[in-house]
Structure 1
Amino acid sequence: MKDGFIKVAAATPDIQVADCVHNTREIVKKAKEMSREGARILVFPELCITGYTCQDLFQQDTLLESAKEQLLKAAEELKEVPGLIFVGLPLEFHGKLYNTAAVLSGGEILGIVPKQYLPNYGEFYEARHFVSGGEILDYIPMGKGKVPFGSRLLFTCEEMPGLTVAAEICEDLWAPCPPSVGHAMAGANVVVNLSASDETVGKTEYRRSLVKGQSARLLCAYIYATAGNGESTQDLVFGGQNLICENGSLLAEAPLFANETIYGVLDIQKLKGERRRISTWQQEMDGSYLKISFHLPKEETLLTNCFEQNPFVPGNPEKRAERCNEILNIQAMGLKKRMEHTHCKTAVLGISGGLDSTLALLVTARAMDLLGMDRKQIVAVTMPCFGTTDRTYTNACELTRRLGAELLEVDIKKAVLQHFEDIGQDPQVHDVTFENAQARERTQVIMDIANQRGGMVIGTGDLSELALGWATYNGDHMSMYGVNGSVPKTLVRYLVRYYAETCGEEKLAQILMDVLDTPVSPELLPPEDGVISQKTEDLVGPYELHDFFLYYMLRFHFSPSKIYRMAKATFEGAYDEETILKWLKKFYWRFFSQQFKRSCLPDGPKVGSVAVSPRGDLRMPSDACVTVWMKEIEKL
């Protein structure tokens, strides 16, 4: 529960049709198993106490009484199981039969939620047995007392402010305006669905997209438990495709026909933050909803396999390839429009043999193709100086030739040494002046060449460097259009790799793969024995950590302590806690102190949900203090 995390589960028990005693025994066993795994919201399928496929047996008093008795028994046997438990059963109320979800917690039945939309088409005949409970809000006798009965029930956690749970049942989700819409607008950020959806060809993907889409639309978590093996196969087969989604992301899915229990860790704090951030999300104070409180033990939810190490990069290879192509197109289309508008004859960029300039050149080539311009109108300028190695120089030259661009070499050593003499800088003192003078000289060279050629300077710096301020002010920090400005370093690698794997040119692919294998470096200090001596990640830290910090700080506005906890769980075995904390401190210090560089960035296309443009995503004062954040980090 700490930091807004809560573990949840959806299970399909092994049932026998119309055997409430057996089914309840299985439900209780599953619930205790899920609880031992740390789940605190437990969801079972529709009508699971009786089985969904009882048909006209639902009219039998014997079955209905048995179901009610077993519900009370389940509540008693699960009184030591912490959490909120949803089970399905038929209940008679005021002379009518309802398809309901019973909500259990601490040995009590907190409420009964009836199904609103009853399918009576195709293979479904629910209206033969049940009536809709859409307009009801009443109290039903249950055991020695009465409990709330109605579709507008919200279950709120006393120990976890902000956690609000609501339920709908199967077909409710398929309706044009599902009850979950009203639930969410009334404050629910976790919706559970007790379902019995049979399997037909193509339905699996449709069901998955429906649940994912609803969780995205409502900015909520959605836990879907459905019937499986054990239901009657007289005319239908049920697959048990349990699903857990959070704001459009699929956290867990059960394989078909396995009756598998699935688990997911929800981030309630993240969902609350998203609703706060999205200005079009407006919660409605609906007085027709009844709020019912429940309790959870105060504990720290174990975080295992919850987060991707590279949150900017899709883990699925097919989706990653699709994303890479899309990003390259966004970058190229942005540059295409800018060159069209300015009537530029050439695109000029510095090419170093490093990752960022390589990506910028690939994007520029694609933009030229879109414009119908000859790639010879790209002027790739290599500017060797004190730190340039043979490896990067060769890669820069060969890459340019292979892409069909014009290669121009301008050795800047003499110009920089003259500048050192002019300002009284000792060339043997390898300080920040020694480094930045080279970066600024390179920028001056390509700016002036762009003027000569009627061209535009294409920026190469990436999002990670901008976040850390790892750019020379008015050096590589400046350009006329920055195509990489919202692409983080971890993603730059995948984009270059994707190009290498899909370009269809063996020699070009080899060059690109060698660029990927080259240590990240500005090459501003002299090499040692011909090898790069200045490695960026030794100085500012691993980019995979910084990109992880950056994503969760800007995208979800998480606190340093929460990000640190997430990073420890995510990078366990790769980095120890002291190393993660060291670079987290460095990240926050640099992010705040270097905002002045981001406040005057050149234009460039936004490609993802995280960006630092002062005209768009990040409106931050250049002199904001990091004190509050650093104090929190010091306590870790």
Structure 2
Amino acid sequence: MSDTLSIALAQIDPVVGDVAGNVALIRAARARAAADRADLIVYPELVVSGYPPEDLVLKAAFLDAVEAAVDSLAKDTADGGPAMLVGAPWRMDGLARNAALLLDHGKVTACRLKRHLPNYGVFDEARVFVPGPLPAPITFRGVRLGVPICEDMWYPDVAETLAAAGAEILVVPNGSPFEVDKSGVRLERAAQRVAETGLPLVYVNQLGGQDELVFDGASFALGGDGRPLLRLAPWRAEVLTTVWRRTETGWTTEGKLAPEPAREESIYQAMVWGLRDYVGKNGFPGVVLGLSGGIDSALAAAVAADALGPDKVWCVMMPSPYTSQDSLDDAAGVARLLGCRLDTIGIRAAMTAFDGMLGPLFVGREPDITEENLQSRARGLTLMALSNKFGPMVLSTGNKSELSTGYATLYGDMCGGYAVLKDVYKTAVFAVCRWRNAHVPAGALGPNGPVMPERVITKPPSAELKPDQTDQDTLPPYDELDGILMSLIEGELSVADTVAKGYDEATVRRVWRMLDRAEYKRRQAPPGVKITGRSFGKDRRYPITNGFTKSV
């Protein structure tokens, strides 16, 4: 019976579908663990395939590649170095399972299957996997390890079964996406399992962006008494070797507790990591975006500069006759502070051309939102032309408040390959901009000082599509609007329950109708990183054709 066990935690950033690249990442992490004389290195959930693999699991050729990779990794362990606990899609009896595989002595020595397959929010695991049975512990170097896989930790049955079967340490591989305030929920669930079993728990989470999800890492360990033993810094790749010792009261280890980041820092880092990995993993050379002089495009540009480096961010100011001098100056100020390229392409000629093209059909009708939208679409067309000609991906700059209410132009400011602020409410945009102007996030490739002039944050928001226009001509004040939207979207509350929070009923009904009517627009919006508890896209699926709003 061993009295010590060295366990390395691999908080790393795999790429979905890049089996060969993930194998290289796994091997590099193992080499670091071997240098620290680890007995075992634990990787995130489904690290061989990347998480979430979605319908790739339905391809036999993909599962063949994963299984060949696992076999190759298993052979590595014949060298006497650390054993590996890797996650992979795994076929058993012809059915795909979400598995944790122990690789040791040159072969797969144990396999444990995920019991609880999440099938809510952004998760569709029941679509591609078959659940496993309640697991038994794995005996490794004389220590009985219980291996709940991610969602298994959120329910008591798996941990209780493992404890009853003699498990001594719970080791939990995870693919837990980031959302604001989720780290506390993870700790709460882990503490519940520890309280129920009296066992210490090691939580290893994935890092990095995958389409609309981003993973923050933030791996940790709790003692059998529920006390935090160690916490890795979020938003940082790391391989940490921990030395566990058997005591009279059970297994324990020592480590540092990385500080919990501020809410605004977490939101900002989520946007940075989501964009960085979306651009990098898909092979884009950089991004191009419209820089209006307003706060949304300024924040989008700042995130891009911090994620990719200022040299990979191309800003374009596209003034119309309604663009103010302040906006021109502020856009130039943002580009100067960020160190990004800025070009100016006026759209007056495009507006004149559209007036000439459509004038014969529009005769006798007063200008309205049609002409306003044509300006936005001229800008979208311009950015797409630059993307096609030179290669950078168009970065959309709209925020969640706008997308919620339809205050965005389809094929105009909504066009692009990625929407970095898609799940960030306008009130959060203001808060995050103030935070970034005062702080430099870890790992940022942008400037060390402020990223936008103060006036960009303080001036009234405006689309500048007609004279003296402000957002509040069309929308309620943003602090009121965002409160109503959070109630309707994240809270899924009714109009009556939202009004009971103190909001005006007519305003709530108006916002509810706007939210419903804009569903068809959101279906055509580019992907963007999930920040809140209910993001648009896979996380919130409402029918476009929907008569419920009219009936209540």
Percent sequence identity over matched residues? 27
Q: Output the TM-score relative to the length of structure 1.
A: 0.44
Instruction: Show the counterpart of 1:621.
Output: 543
Instruction: Show the counterpart of 2:527.
Output: 603
Amino acid at match of 1:512: P
CA distance in structure 1 between the partners assigned to 2:411 and 2:269 by the alignment:
28
Q: Does 1:416 align with 2:351?
A: yes
Aligned counterpart in structure 1 of residue 466 of structure 2, from 511, 514, 525? 525
Secondary structure of the equivalent of 2:500? Answer: helix
Offset of 1:507 from its aligned partner?
A: 12
Aligned counterpart in structure 2 of residue 398 of structure 1, from 333, 336, 339? 333
Is the alpha carbon distance of 1:346 and 1:587 closer, same or farther for their aligned partners in structure 2, counting shifts above 3 Å? same
CA distance in structure 2 between the partners assigned to 1:441 and 1:492 by the alignment:
26
Retained in 1: the 8 A contact 2:495–2:505?
A: no
Amino acid at match of 1:336: R
Retained in 1: the 8 A contact 2:316–2:342?
A: yes
Q: How does 1:348-387 map to 2 (within 5 A)?
A: 348-369=288-309, 375-387=310-322
Amino acid at match of 1:328: Y
Is the alpha carbon distance of 1:513 and 1:507 closer, same or farther for their aligned partners in structure 2, counting shifts above 3 Å? farther
Q: Output the TM-score relative to the length of structure 2.
A: 0.51
Q: Does 1:213 align with 2:150?
A: no
Q: Unaligned 5+ residue runs, structure 2?
A: 1-155, 158-183, 194-258
CA distance in structure 1 between the partners assigned to 2:439 and 2:315 by the alignment:
22
Q: Does 1:461 align with 2:401?
A: no
Amino acid at match of 2:486: Y
Is the alpha carbon distance of 1:406 and 1:585 closer, same or farther for their aligned partners in structure 2, counting shifts above 3 Å? same
- The CA deviation string for residues 424-457 of structure 1, in whole angstroms up to 9 with x for no partner, is 1579944111100000000010111112221100
Offset of 1:381 from its aligned partner?
A: 0.2
- The CA deviation string for residues 519-564 of structure 1, in whole angstroms up to 9 with x for no partner, is 11111003xxxxxx11112312122222112212222221111111
CA distance in structure 2 between the partners assigned to 1:338 and 1:348 by the alignment:
14
Instruction: Show the counterpart of 2:239.
Output: none
Instruction: Show the counterpart of 1:514.
Output: 455
Instruction: Show the counterpart of 2:433.
Output: 496
Instruction: Show the counterpart of 1:587.
Output: 511
CA distance in structure 2 between the partners assigned to 1:495 and 1:367 by the alignment:
15
Amino acid at match of 1:516: I
CA distance in structure 1 between the partners assigned to 2:265 and 2:363 by the alignment:
47
CA distance in structure 1 between the partners assigned to 2:478 and 2:465 by the alignment:
19
Retained in 2: the 8 A contact 1:346–1:453?
A: no
Is the alpha carbon distance of 1:618 and 1:217 closer, same or farther for their aligned partners in structure 2, counting shifts above 3 Å? farther
Secondary structure of the equivalent of 1:441? Answer: helix
Amino acid at match of 1:590: M
Is the alpha carbon distance of 1:477 and 1:327 closer, same or farther for their aligned partners in structure 2, counting shifts above 3 Å? same
Instruction: Show the counterpart of 1:443.
Output: 380
Q: How does 1:76-95 map to 2 (within 5 A)?
A: none
Offset of 1:376 from its aligned partner?
A: 2.4
Offset of 1:476 from its aligned partner?
A: 0.8
Offset of 1:349 from its aligned partner?
A: 0.2
Instruction: Show the counterpart of 1:561.
Output: 496
Amino acid at match of 1:213: E
- The CA deviation string for residues 88-142 of structure 1, in whole angstroms up to 9 with x for no partner, is xxxxxxxxxxxxxxxxxxxxxxxxxxxxxxxxxxxxxxxxxxxxxxxxxxxxxxx
CA distance in structure 2 between the partners assigned to 1:609 and 1:385 by the alignment:
38
- The CA deviation string for residues 153-207 of structure 1, in whole angstroms up to 9 with x for no partner, is xxxxxxxxxxxxxxxxxxxxxxxxxxxx89xxxxxxxxxxxxxxxxxxxxxxxxx
Q: How does 1:17-166 map to 2 (within 5 A)?
A: none
Secondary structure of the equivalent of 1:540? Answer: coil
- The CA deviation string for residues 317-336 of structure 1, in whole angstroms up to 9 with x for no partner, is x98x7121222221111211
> Which ranges of 4 or more aligned residues in structure 1 deviate by more than 6 Å?
504-508
Aligned counterpart in structure 1 of residue 477 of structure 2, from 542, 545, 553? 542
CA distance in structure 1 between the partners assigned to 2:413 and 2:397 by the alignment:
8
Q: How does 1:320-331 map to 2 (within 5 A)?
A: 322-331=262-271
Is the alpha carbon distance of 1:438 and 1:620 closer, same or farther for their aligned partners in structure 2, counting shifts above 3 Å? same
- The CA deviation string for residues 224-244 of structure 1, in whole angstroms up to 9 with x for no partner, is xxxxxxxxxxxxxxxxxxxxx
CA distance in structure 2 between the partners assigned to 1:511 and 1:350 by the alignment:
15
Is the alpha carbon distance of 1:217 and 1:536 closer, same or farther for their aligned partners in structure 2, counting shifts above 3 Å? farther
Is the alpha carbon distance of 1:485 and 1:427 closer, same or farther for their aligned partners in structure 2, counting shifts above 3 Å? farther
Is the alpha carbon distance of 1:415 and 1:427 closer, same or farther for their aligned partners in structure 2, counting shifts above 3 Å? farther
Retained in 1: the 8 A contact 2:272–2:303?
A: yes
Retained in 1: the 8 A contact 2:513–2:549?
A: no
CA distance in structure 1 between the partners assigned to 2:514 and 2:192 by the alignment:
36
Retained in 2: the 8 A contact 1:611–1:618?
A: yes
Retained in 2: the 8 A contact 1:588–1:626?
A: no
CA distance in structure 1 between the partners assigned to 2:429 and 2:319 by the alignment:
23
CA distance in structure 1 between the partners assigned to 2:447 and 2:396 by the alignment:
27
Offset of 1:510 from its aligned partner?
A: 8.7
Is the alpha carbon distance of 1:553 and 1:342 closer, same or farther for their aligned partners in structure 2, counting shifts above 3 Å? same
CA distance in structure 2 between the partners assigned to 1:490 and 1:399 by the alignment:
20
Larger Rg: 1
CA distance in structure 1 between the partners assigned to 2:547 and 2:318 by the alignment:
38
CA distance in structure 1 between the partners assigned to 2:264 and 2:364 by the alignment:
42
CA distance in structure 2 between the partners assigned to 1:589 and 1:506 by the alignment:
42
Retained in 2: the 8 A contact 1:348–1:380?
A: yes
Q: Unaligned 5+ residue runs, structure 1?
A: 1-180, 183-208, 219-317, 370-374, 527-532, 569-579, 632-636
Amino acid at match of 2:289: L
Secondary structure of the equivalent of 1:519? Answer: coil
CA distance in structure 1 between the partners assigned to 2:473 and 2:191 by the alignment:
40
Retained in 1: the 8 A contact 2:438–2:450?
A: yes
Amino acid at match of 1:326: S
- The CA deviation string for residues 282-317 of structure 1, in whole angstroms up to 9 with x for no partner, is xxxxxxxxxxxxxxxxxxxxxxxxxxxxxxxxxxxx
Q: How does 1:116-265 map to 2 (within 5 A)?
A: 213=188
Is the alpha carbon distance of 1:593 and 1:337 closer, same or farther for their aligned partners in structure 2, counting shifts above 3 Å? same
Instruction: Show the counterpart of 2:416.
Output: 479
CA distance in structure 1 between the partners assigned to 2:356 and 2:288 by the alignment:
29
Instruction: Show the counterpart of 2:102.
Output: none
Secondary structure of the equivalent of 2:394? Answer: strand
Offset of 1:393 from its aligned partner?
A: 1.3
Secondary structure of the equivalent of 2:266? Answer: helix
CA distance in structure 2 between the partners assigned to 1:359 and 1:384 by the alignment:
19
CA distance in structure 1 between the partners assigned to 2:520 and 2:429 by the alignment:
24
Instruction: Show the counterpart of 2:407.
Output: 470
CA distance in structure 1 between the partners assigned to 2:190 and 2:502 by the alignment:
25
CA distance in structure 1 between the partners assigned to 2:522 and 2:191 by the alignment:
31
Amino acid at match of 1:348: V
CA distance in structure 1 between the partners assigned to 2:386 and 2:275 by the alignment:
19
Amino acid at match of 2:307: A
Is the alpha carbon distance of 1:396 and 1:508 closer, same or farther for their aligned partners in structure 2, counting shifts above 3 Å? farther
Instruction: Show the counterpart of 2:370.
Output: 433
Secondary structure of the equivalent of 1:555? Answer: coil
Amino acid at match of 1:479: G
Instruction: Show the counterpart of 1:340.
Output: 280
Instruction: Show the counterpart of 1:157.
Output: none
Aligned-pair RMSD on alpha carbons?
Answer: 3.2
Offset of 1:386 from its aligned partner?
A: 2.4
Q: How does 1:264-279 map to 2 (within 5 A)?
A: none
Q: How does 1:264-303 map to 2 (within 5 A)?
A: none
Offset of 1:352 from its aligned partner?
A: 0.5
